[in-house]
């Protein structure tokens, strides 16, 4: 759904809208069937149900549903009221729409789902509600928008945690975006990167030949570089321009110093053992570390805590 600047004239929200009479002069009958005037564009065909969901007006939303408005009514771009409620983070409206039969996996013509909108708004409450009602963590087509990537892009670490706990793949790749870890590193979100790595995300998988370490160095994020090195990032990995991460670091910057120090003092045997043990355990079983009959000190060591 296109972004609309605050205070923009109503006509700017309607693709190809023709000048017309003021709203107060429009016959009641025409206003009542506004939802089918698709020639006015994607904003013109928004129903009162869309507006109520977007504004969090629960009583109005329930009233409209009781009057016969369908929970899955969509705009010309296939935006549903559930999309609107999730984008604005209105948990009660989301619950009401789901109870009325709203499609939890509805997608716009651009492939955006209500789950994606939850991650865009950072609404953990809406996100959990959708997942409890059968929302898919990933789309069937890898070129469609990914909720996990959006959460990583915006630094919504709680959304990342919830998605992963409901089975989202931390290595899920979108062709033009790369891995979630790459997205997180590109936008300098250390907390999201830590969550992904703790859940077993592959530290050297980025976008094409570009690794997460390359992205962290470009953003000059020393914290991210430290975390990636701790989880086994390959400092000798080369991007599509045949450059290592240290060659991209700003001269004299902390990221460059970290990489230069690492090159002359490689990982200890203790670190290498931890990386190897975690690899042997496998990503799907890392969550079981706390229940293993191991001393807490060893569990913390394996879990990077």
Summarised one tens digit per residue, pLDDT across range 223-243 is 999 999 999 999 999 999 999
Are both 1-126 and 146-266 of the same fold? yes
- In this structure, the number of other CB atoms found within 10 A of the CB of residue 297 comes to 7
Choice among 19-23, 163-167, 301-305 with the minimum mean pLDDT: 19-23
**What is the percent of the chain with per-residue pLDDT over 90, rounded to a whole number?**
67
**Tens-place pLDDT, residues 172-184:** 998 889 999 999 9
Q: Which residue has the tokens 């408005």?
A: 69
- In this structure, the number of other CB atoms found within 10 A of the CB of residue 16 comes to 8
CATH assignment, 146-266: 1.25.40.20
Contact 135, 113 (CB under 8 A): yes
Q: Does the pLDDT of residue 34 top 50, yes or no?
A: no
Q: Does the pLDDT of residue 35 top 70, yes or no?
A: no
Q: 174 forms bridges with which residues in the sheet?
A: 178
Q: May I ask the CATH class of domain 1-126? A: mainly alpha
Q: Does the pLDDT of residue 38 top 80, yes or no?
A: no
**What is the percent of the chain with per-residue pLDDT over 70, rounded to a whole number?**
85
Query: What pLDDT was estimated at residue 44?
Result: 59
* Domain boundaries of the chain, sorted by first residue: 1-126, 146-266, 267-305
267: pLDDT confidence band, cut at 50, 70 and 90? confident
* Number of H-type helices and E-type strands within the chain: 17, 0
């Amino acid at each position: 759904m296109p972004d609309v600047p605050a205070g923009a004239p109503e006509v700017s929200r309607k693709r190809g809208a023709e000048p017309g009479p003021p709203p107060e002069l429009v016959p009641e009958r025409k206003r009542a069937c506004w939802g089918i005037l698709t020639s006015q564009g994607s904003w013109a065909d928004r129903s009162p149900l869309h507006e109520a969901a977007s504004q969090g007006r629960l009583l109005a939303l329930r009233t409209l549903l009781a009057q016969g408005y369908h929970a899955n009514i969509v705009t010309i771009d296939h935006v549903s009221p559930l999309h609107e409620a999730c984008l604005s983070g209105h948990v009660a409206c989301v619950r009401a729409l789901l109870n009325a039969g709203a499609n939890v996996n509805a997608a716009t013509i651009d492939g955006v789902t209500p789950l994606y909108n939850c991650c865009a708004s950072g609404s953990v409450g809406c996100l959990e509600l959708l997942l409890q009602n059968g929302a898919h963590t990933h789309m069937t087509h890898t070129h469609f928008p990914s909720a996990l990537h959006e959460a990583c892009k915006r630094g919504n670490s709680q959304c990342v945690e919830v998605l992963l706990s409901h089975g989202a793949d931390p290595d899920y790749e979108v062709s033009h975006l790369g891995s979630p870890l790459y997205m997180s590193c590109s936008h300098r979100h250390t907390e999201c990167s830590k969550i992904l790595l703790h859940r077993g995300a592959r530290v050297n998988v980025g976008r094409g030949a570009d690794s997460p370490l390359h992205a962290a160095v470009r953003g000059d994020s020393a914290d991210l570089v430290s975390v990636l090195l701790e989880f086994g990032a390959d400092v000798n990995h080369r991007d599509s321009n045949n450059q290592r991460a240290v060659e991209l670091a700003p001269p004299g910057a902390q990221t460059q110093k970290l990489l230069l120090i690492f090159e002359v003092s490689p990982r200890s045997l203790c670190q290498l053992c931890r990386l190897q043990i975690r690899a042997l355990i496998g990503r799907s079983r890392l969550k079981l570390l706390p229940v293993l009959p191991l001393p807490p000190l060893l569990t913390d060591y394996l879990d990077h805590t």
